[in-house]
Every structure is written in C-alpha cells, then in structure tokens.
Structure 1
Amino acid sequence: MAEVANILTVSRLNELLKELVEENFWEVWVEGEVSNFSAPSSGHYYFVLKDEKAAVRAVMFRPYNRLLPFVPRDGMKVLCRGRVSLYPQRGELQVLVEAMEACGVGNLHLAFRQLMEKLSAEGLFAEEHKKPLPALPRIVGVVTSPTGAAIRDILNVLSRRGAGLRILLVPVKVQGEGAAAEVAAAIADLNRHGEADVLIVGRGGGSLEDLWAFNEEVVARAIHSSRIPIISAVGHETDVTIADLVADLRAPTPSAAAELVVKSRFELESHLDHLDIRLSSRMASLFRLSRERLRSLEKRLCSPVEKLELQRRRCQEAAFRLEAAMRRVLEIREGRLFALAGRLDALSPLAILSRGFALVSQEKDGKLVRKAGQLAVGERLLIRFNEGMAKVVTEEIIER
C-alpha cells in the first residue's frame, strides 16, 4: 500500500494540475471552429473550439467580450488568444479567451452554403413546388425521435386541439451517423404507405452539429420528392436548415408545427361558428318580422260571421236603393204613360164621337165612307155613334 504522504485528494490533484497548466500555457493562440455557443444573462460567452480531430471548452468573460466587434456564432472559424486553465470542479481544461479574431466560416457552414446554392439552382426552394396543407387532416405522420422533447410537444398540442386526429409516428435517429438516411427513408415509407394527410419532420434544438442531419442532401431530396405536404420543424426559431427551405412550410418549433396542422381546422370551425351565429341572428330577425306581420294581419282580419253580416247589410242597403230607384222610375214612367194616354184619348175617334160626330162605313166591307161619291143608291151603310150603331139604306146621293 502507498505511503499516506503520497495520497492526493481529487481537489488537490486538480489544483496541482491547474497550477501546472497555467504556468506552462499562460498565453496561447488557438485556431478552431466555434460550436455550442451560448451567451447567458451573465454576459459571458461559453463555447467549444474544435477542429477535425479534437475539441476544447472555452470561455470569454464579459470584460473581454465587450470589446469584440462581432458576436461569435456556431460554425464560425476564429483565432483566439488567451491562457489555458483547468476548471477544478469538473477537472476539465478550458481556454480563457481574452481576444478573438474571425478567420472565416467553418467547414459545416461552408458545406451548408454550398448545398443551399446547389439546391436553389435546381429549384428545390421554389414557391411553385410548395404544396398547400390539407384543411381537415385525418392522419398526421411524424418523423422524429421517439424519446425526444419534440414528439412530446407535438403529441401534447395535437391531443389538446386536434380531437379525432390519428398520429402515425415513424421513429428515427435525429443526429449522429446514419440519422439523415433514416429520416429520408421514413419520409419515403410514409409516401409509399399513403395514409397520412400531412407530415411533420423535425427535432428539438441543439448545436449546428446536432441539427446537421437535416442539412444533408438526401433529406432535402426526400422532402422535395414527397407527394404528402411536409412541415419542417427543426430546432428553435433562430435555427434554419436545408430541410426548412425545401419543405412546404417551415415551423419555428415542433409545437408550432402541430399548431399549424390544426390551424386550418380551427379556422374552419371558427368560421362555421361565425356563420351559425349570423344564421341564428338572421332567423331570429325574420321570425320577429313575420310575427309582426302576422299580428298586423290579425288586426285587419274579420271573423266570417262579421264579414257575412257586413255583406248582408250591404246587400240590404243595395236592395233598398234599388227598390227606391225602381219606384222613382215607375213613377216617372207612369206619369209619362198618363200623359200619353191623355194625348191619345184626345185624338181617339171615340172622343170625337162623344162630341156628336158619327162614323159611316159600308156594311159590305166595313170601309169608312169619307165622301158621298163612294156610295151608290140603295147601298147599306153602318153608322156608329158615341153610344150605339144604326143600319141605314142610301136613298139619294147629294154631292156638292
């Protein structure tokens, strides 16, 4: 067993290593690509410097980064000046950066730009290739990790707002080797299956390296070839991937993608509710108007008995007027008749006879005798008086 004097605690070991490192690396220049950059509310910058083979943690405290003319971003290639130290609590080496210069864009960013230019030239980002989302999807296909936060967020939104929706999950790796191929294969499988109405493809947030599967050409071409509309939901709102540019619609987060799926459904339901309110209001208005018109007609409508009584009185009044008019006409006609009778009586031969005249006619044929020349001696005549008649024989004819 080792002597007690040679046994070190972990804390003591880290203190000795820290002294050793700081004494030998009190000023270094390190070139690398920025990754996992974060800037919390403290104002310090925390990131990782890496190259193709290795990585080291780095920190740039606020008094130093306040002098920087730019804010570092993931994928940026930088040259840092500082000193190397050891963080005792975790036993990790870190570079305490005091100055930084941008050296250009890192390899991943360069690859991103090159692929974006290539696909853009081929028209994969063109708006005419974008497919509209279905208004009332029945089945939603989801391509993501089965254990990540993304699927939990999607399921939470769809279960809360998408009553009746079926969810078809195709579990895949979303980072690391082979992730891009799995995502592309899942999209192709869902298209062959053909049951889903819309697809959500994505994952939660992470570094540029974590999201890189969604910047691979194989995923971009699988999205472009999909007959089913695809919503890309990769990372956070500030993360933009090739998949976002090719997809039919980009959502800033997986939760937002789920909201977009049910958005048209809720807009339609809201529109139907609005139409229902308008229809109910219109029907109520028409009902009130019809009721008012009915009341007005009720006031104007008479009962059959009253109407018959009214017609009876009108007929009675008309009969009285007709009877009076007929009496007046008869009286007028009677007066005219009496006048004509008087005139006729004045002209009647009988009236003349009453004044002492007589009518003489030949007995044989009843012709009136107007002059003596009509007669012959011995001819029998008939004399008519006002009262009575006499038969005579002509004895002599005297002509003037």
Structure 2
Amino acid sequence: MSAHTNVLTVTQLNTYVKSILEGDRNLQVVYVQGEISNFTDHYRSGHLYFSLKDSGGVIKAVMFAGNARRLRFKPEDGMKVLACGRVSLYEVTGQYQFYVNELQPVGAGALAIAFEQLKSRLEKEGLFAEERKKALPRCPERIGVVTSPTGAAVRDILNILSRRWPLSEVVLCPVLVQGEEAAPQIAEAIARFNREKAADVLIVGRGGGSIEDLWAFNEECVARAVAESKIPVISAVGHETDFTICDFVADLRAPTPSAAAELAVPDRGEVLRNLLHTDEILRNSLQNRMNLERQKLDRVTMALGESLNQPLEKNRQKLSRLMAQLDALSPLKVLSRGYAVVKKEDGAVLENASEAVPDEILHLRLKNGALKCRVLEQEQV
C-alpha cells in the first residue's frame, strides 16, 4: 500500500456510495414490480418494512408512515405489487434499499383488496352474524338520518318519510359522505345519536357513485360505530348493485336511500286499511257473539219459564179443587137450596128447637135477606 493510498472510513464509504446512488437521476423515480416478503408493520412508528423479490433476486424496501397512511389496503406477504420510489443506501447498516412512495397491487385494485381484507376480518369477528342484528321498531317516533344535507338522498328520504308516516319526527345529522374526513364524521354522528338517545332507528347512507365515492362507508371506524350502535341501523349506500362494509354490519341493508325510508316506517294508507279491516272483523265477531249469547239466553229463559209453569199449573189445579170443595161447603150454597140459619139475639146459632122458648125473638138468615121472628111454640119432629 503506497503512501498516496486514500483510506476511507466505513462511514465515508457508505456516504460516498449513497451520493452516487442518489445522484443517478435514473434511480430517483423507479417503478419496481415484485412479490412482498418479510413484511413488518411497525405500529408505533407507522413505517412499513418489507422485501420485494422475484425469481432472480431480492431488495430491501421501506415505506415511511406519511406514505403508508395513504394506502387503501394492507400489504401482505405473497402479494404482488407495483412500487414506485427511489433507490438509496442506509448508511448505518450499509444496506442499499428501495424507499417506496407509492404501492399498488398488481391485478385487483387497492380498494378492492382493502374491501375484501376488512370484510374478511370483521366477518371472522362475528360483526356480520344474523343473531346480533336488531329488529326495527314498527312505528318509530324519531328517525335519525346520517347523510349529506345537500344531496338527492336526503330529499328522497324526507319526502318518503313525510308521505308514508308523518307522525314520525326526522332528526338529520349532516355529514360529509366522501373524502378523508367523511368516515370520522359518519362514525361520530352514529355515536352521538346513541349517546343522546336521539332516535329510534337510524338511516345511514348516500346516493350512488364510484367505489372511491362510496369508500367512507367501507372504513373500519364506520363499521365499528354501526356494530356498537344500540339504535337499529339501516344502511342505504349507493344503488342496488353497490355493497359496502356498512351494509354487512348494519341491522338491515336497503338497496337505496329511498328504499331505506320505506323500510323505516309503515305506510299510513296500508295501516288505515288494516285498521278498517280489523274493525270490520271485530264488529262481525262481536255481532256473532251477541247473536249466539242471545240464543243461549232465549233457551235458558224458555227452560226457566217451563220449569216455573209446571208447579204453578199444578198449584192452580189444586186451588181450583179446593175452591170447588169450599164452594160446596159454603153456607151460602146451602142457603141457596132453601135452608136458613137461625140465630138468637146474642148471635148464637140455634141448632135444636128445644133451645128456643115461646115468645123468644129469633133471627133467620135466608139466601136473600133475613127475617126477625117470634117463637109461638115448640114442635117435636
């Protein structure tokens, strides 16, 4: 080794190599396609560490928290991705690596993967289970609506609710329904309705749109808020063919916001028709019961009358016999045959001629009238 040999420290060498890599414009914006392996998510820092590999080689990669937060899916080992970033060297370890700014799945879109990842995780937790879904009240007094205050969805919901069941009070909690701030606002609105017990049923949703437009309803915070709600939730996101995570967690999924309003309340016209039909059934049933009871009463009355008439008739016949006997024994009956009743002055009935004395005054009672007589003499018969 000559005296003119330039001896470098390790740090100087790493710094020099790093400057060469970072000075190459071709390495500042690089697209690399490969398969993720050795994936590590540092939850505290938010940085993602992994390797990208193909059949011929491997490169270390890192994605810092600021870029990682923008990901719509969770990277996993074995996932094929297209990464965009720059090549540099980490001086502490002397490891050359790929600093990733953007990451996209190869094949299925990032949102589709994120959707399936969250759907699978929540399903395993039991958040979609039918047995945990709550029944809707038949006639809610207050209906909470969580949606944009300016969209067509809220107008459709309000129109249908006022037409079908105007007795209900509608409580609107306006929120953003797309964009980064939408999901936290929706989740907080659901939680607030529960804290204040401000509704009997909730309609959560918006009109149709692209998967990006509807993405707030695929966020985990919204799914958790719906799952934790003590108030039954109707999810009404997009059109009939659109499905979101919110739909799976909700107690009931409506294909559209308009359909959600129809499911939330009964139709007053139908209720009125049912009431009239029920009234008719009750009236007919009551009339039939009254007729039946009246027939029973008539039979009982007839039987009672017969049971009372039998002894009465017997007594009437007996009375007639006694009256006939009494009539036959009546003194008046005897007098009518030409006999007379003789009484003394003191009213004593005279039965024997020997009881009278000459010149005694006697009274004779005839059939018609009476005589006052004087005794002339006694005759023995």
TM-score, with length taken from structure 1: 0.48
Distance 1:130 1:311, change over 3 A: same
Deviations 1:150-199 (A, max 9, x none): 11111112111213101110001111231111111111111111121111
Amino acid at match of 1:246: V
Percent identity between matched residues is 56
8 A Cα contact 2:147 2:206, kept in partner: yes
Amino acid at match of 2:151: G
8 A Cα contact 1:144 1:151, kept in partner: yes
Partner of 1:158: 161
Tell me, yes or no, if structure 1 residue 288 matches structure 2 residue 291. yes
Aligned partner of residue 218 in structure 1, secondary structure = helix
Partner of 2:184: 181
Pairwise CA distance, 1:231: 0.7
Of the structure 1 ranges 149-158 and 231-240, higher mean CA displacement relative to structure 2 is found in: 149-158
Partner of 1:129: 132
Tell me, yes or no, if structure 1 residue 224 matches structure 2 residue 251. no
Alignment of 1:321-360 (within 5 A): none
Partner of 1:144: 147
Distance 1:181 1:292, change over 3 A: same
Amino acid at match of 1:285: N
RMSD: 3.5
8 A Cα contact 1:135 1:265, kept in partner: no
8 A Cα contact 2:139 2:266, kept in partner: no
Q: Distance in 2 between matches of 1:216 and 1:170?
A: 19
Amino acid at match of 1:202: G
8 A Cα contact 1:136 1:265, kept in partner: no
Distance 1:135 1:322, change over 3 A: farther
Pairwise CA distance, 1:315: 2.8
Pairwise CA distance, 1:321: 8.8
Aligned partner of residue 168 in structure 1, secondary structure = strand
Tell me, yes or no, if structure 1 residue 196 matches structure 2 residue 187. no
8 A Cα contact 2:142 2:171, kept in partner: yes
Partner of 2:342: none
Correspondent of 1:108 among 111, 130, 138: 111
Q: Distance in 2 between matches of 1:215 and 1:158?
A: 26
Amino acid at match of 2:114: A
Q: Distance in 2 between matches of 1:178 and 1:274?
A: 51
Q: Distance in 2 between matches of 1:272 and 1:220?
A: 39
Pairwise CA distance, 1:248: 1.1
Distance 1:218 1:309, change over 3 A: closer
Pairwise CA distance, 1:274: 5.1
Q: Distance in 2 between matches of 1:118 and 1:294?
A: 71
Amino acid at match of 2:119: M
Alignment of 1:80-99 (within 5 A): none
Pairwise CA distance, 1:252: 1.0
Pairwise CA distance, 1:238: 0.8
Aligned partner of residue 265 in structure 2, secondary structure = helix
Pairwise CA distance, 1:127: 2.1
Pairwise CA distance, 1:273: 5.2
Distance 1:292 1:182, change over 3 A: same
Deviations 1:185-219 (A, max 9, x none): 11111111112111110011111111111111111
Q: Distance in 1 between matches of 2:197 and 2:325?
A: 93
Pairwise CA distance, 1:271: 6.4
Distance 1:275 1:295, change over 3 A: same
Q: Distance in 2 between matches of 1:310 and 1:130?
A: 77
Flag the structure with larger Rg: 1
Q: Distance in 1 between matches of 2:205 and 2:288?
A: 51
Correspondent of 1:319 among 307, 319, 322: 322
Aligned length: 220
Q: Distance in 2 between matches of 1:114 and 1:266?
A: 45
Partner of 1:260: 263
Unpaired runs of 5+ in structure 2? 1-105, 327-381
Distance 1:280 1:301, change over 3 A: same
Partner of 1:118: 121
Pairwise CA distance, 1:287: 2.2
8 A Cα contact 1:135 1:264, kept in partner: no
Unpaired runs of 5+ in structure 1? 1-102, 324-400
Q: Distance in 2 between matches of 1:139 and 1:307?
A: 71
Distance 1:322 1:135, change over 3 A: farther
8 A Cα contact 2:165 2:266, kept in partner: no
Distance 1:265 1:225, change over 3 A: farther
Q: Distance in 2 between matches of 1:235 and 1:185?
A: 21
Partner of 1:246: 249
8 A Cα contact 1:199 1:229, kept in partner: yes
Pairwise CA distance, 1:322: 7.6
Distance 1:267 1:322, change over 3 A: farther
Pairwise CA distance, 1:106: 1.6
Pairwise CA distance, 1:243: 0.3
Q: Distance in 2 between matches of 1:294 and 1:128?
A: 54
Distance 1:199 1:309, change over 3 A: closer
